[in-house]
Structure 1
Amino acid sequence: MSDAMLTAYRHDAHKFTGESHEDAREEFAGVPVNQSVPEGADGDAAALSRPLDVQKQTVPTHADHYRLSLLTGETVYDPETFTRTTIESEVSNLIATEDAQAAHERWLASDVAAAFSETVYHPYTSLKFHTLLVAALLDNYRDGHEFADLRLIVDPVGEVVPFRTVFDGDEFALRIDIEDGGRPSARLGSRPWRSWASAWNRLTAHPLDTDHDKYDMTLDANLRRMWSWSTALQYIEDFAAWRPDR
């Protein structure tokens, strides 16, 4: 299982360097990268976050692989932070490990991965959360689970389930799995599509304090209008880093 899961965490390494899929190198930091992910997990995760038939710039003024923040509308690129040397070092740390569980934990905590989009055509998407979604779907598929059986599950802060946790924040964690153990959850749907708002709205209980906390109210209201999974997950992370009361 480890080799297959490592493929998930390494499959989009070319997006850190701005290479096209066709021209992408086969090795980075001494490990194989940019290989196809088994079980169709990459395509399904992509379908959760962006229209696969749109292959043109959707933001005319933005044409590079750095992500645009939905929170600020600005690029997250910082020339002092994202030097070529820094990126290569950070990416090596993400993908060079031979321990798939360690790779999962590094992706969950990575700020550098969050600086890149899934594709220049959809700059508000997040490479970080796309990759985590790919791994979560792959692990479920390899256990024989069908997409239609999967659920978005809310877990306590810091409770990370190997490969299946896709977000670990200051207030809650989120996981893709089939058994919720009585925790708040919602089905993903019958097929992969941009269904974030649908799933978030159908959670059996919500992890945010929308009765008393004005920032949680704002976050929740915005999440109920988002459809892209990687964009929404990245927005939760960005919002937590931005909110002035913490």
Structure 2
Amino acid sequence: MGSDSGSAVTVGDEASVEPMVSVYRHDVHKARMRSHEHAEGSFRGVRVNEDVPLGADGDAALLSRPGGEPERTVAAHESWFRVSLLTGELASTVEPVRDIGAALREVIELDDAERLHAAWLDASVPSLFCESPYYPYTSLKYHTLLAAALLDNYRAGFGFEELFFAVSKRDEAGVVEVVPHRTVLSTPGFALHVTGGPDGRPAVRLGDVPARSFADVWARLPEVPFDVDGERRWRVLDAQLRRVRSWSAALQFIEEYIAVLSPVEWPCSGGAAGGDGRDA
């Protein structure tokens, strides 16, 4: 797949937003509980709801939910608020936010794409929402990060079939590697990446076409980024990730699980296993 110019283009008298900026803004309407068709073109003075080039948004959607006409998967669920795989509760009841609109603007208002990526990695409010009310376990936050990773790789000339799912653990200095746009999850102990260049990290190919394949891809990793043999809580997490097919739901589950059950101190890459002795 060829790359595009990477810069903002002009349509008529109006310049469009640079693609790697617009990808972080394209689905804000979902956090406002509106469909794409009924979304506005701006939110609190920021341009939103623009198309993502090279099919990256559609491919990211296929990683987490079926194509075609949606089918309701949870009876009577009509909310854009995400249902937590960890607790079974609406995310909005677990983490109430005083001003969702203000919090959303904070993760879209920047004009620097790399800073937007960092903001989304750390954001909590987009995690409150699903990709679609028909698939309430999916995550708006991680759909957006996956779309950005695909777009960045496509613009660099990689096709989907050339992409890898890669992991990196915290290094001896206590730093977790974050690759602009290609890191799709960052925790205190490790990071997960979607990239055409794994650069020596434990990695496995995503597959030939976008699909709800997270469980299969995770199971094929040559190395997972936590100590499965050392503690039961990590065995439980590993076992669950071998069952979750949706990419955004799986990444969101990791975030929630680690927030509740992570050790006080993480081992560094190459070091001895750490932890605080608690068991899940």
Give the TM-score normalised by the residue count of structure 2: 0.84
% same residue: 47
Matches within 5 A, 1:42-191: 42-78=57-93, 81-83=96-98, 86-157=99-170, 158-191=176-209
Alpha carbons 1:29, 1:96 under 8 Å: kept: no
Structure 2 residue 218 is the aligned partner of structure 1 residue 200: yes
For residues 161-181 of structure 1, the C-alpha deviation after alignment (integer angstroms, 9 at most, x for no partner) is 011100001221011112222
Instruction: Indicate how the Cα distance of structure 1 residues 244 and 98 shifts in structure 2: closer, same or farther if over 3 A, else same.
Output: closer
1:21 is displaced (CA, Å) by 1.1
Q: 2:239 aligns with which of 199, 221, 229?
A: 221
d(CA) in 1 for partners of 2:244, 2:95: 31
Matched with 1:34 is 49
Matched to 2:139, the amino acid is S
Alpha carbons 2:169, 2:225 under 8 Å: kept: no
d(CA) in 2 for partners of 1:51, 1:65: 17
Alpha carbons 2:228, 2:234 under 8 Å: kept: yes
Larger Rg, first or second structure (1 or 2): 2
Alpha carbons 2:184, 2:193 under 8 Å: kept: yes
d(CA) in 2 for partners of 1:156, 1:146: 26
d(CA) in 2 for partners of 1:240, 1:96: 28
d(CA) in 2 for partners of 1:181, 1:170: 21
d(CA) in 2 for partners of 1:207, 1:53: 35
Instruction: Indicate how the Cα distance of structure 1 residues 90 and 215 shifts in structure 2: closer, same or farther if over 3 A, else same.
Output: same
Matched with 1:9 is 24
- Return structure 1 stretches of 4+ with deviation > 3 angstroms: none
Alpha carbons 1:67, 1:75 under 8 Å: kept: yes
Instruction: Indicate how the Cα distance of structure 1 residues 99 and 68 shifts in structure 2: closer, same or farther if over 3 A, else same.
Output: same
Matched with 2:13 is none
Instruction: Indicate how the Cα distance of structure 1 residues 244 and 201 shifts in structure 2: closer, same or farther if over 3 A, else same.
Output: closer
1:82 is displaced (CA, Å) by 3.0
How many positions carry a matched residue from both structures?
244
d(CA) in 2 for partners of 1:19, 1:124: 18
Partner SS state of residue 145, structure 1? coil
Partner SS state of residue 188, structure 2? coil
d(CA) in 2 for partners of 1:217, 1:209: 8
Partner SS state of residue 135, structure 1? helix
Partner SS state of residue 180, structure 2? coil
1:81 is displaced (CA, Å) by 2.5
Partner SS state of residue 62, structure 1? coil
Query: What are the ranges of 5 or more consecutive residues in structure 1 without an aligned counterpart?
Result: none
1:197 is displaced (CA, Å) by 1.0
Partner SS state of residue 123, structure 1? coil
1:56 is displaced (CA, Å) by 3.2
Alpha carbons 2:130, 2:140 under 8 Å: kept: yes
1:244 is displaced (CA, Å) by 7.0
d(CA) in 2 for partners of 1:196, 1:120: 21
Matched to 2:237, the amino acid is L
Query: What are the ranges of 5 or more consecutive residues in structure 2 without an aligned counterpart?
Result: 1-5, 8-17, 171-175, 265-280
Instruction: Indicate how the Cα distance of structure 1 residues 93 and 240 shifts in structure 2: closer, same or farther if over 3 A, else same.
Output: same
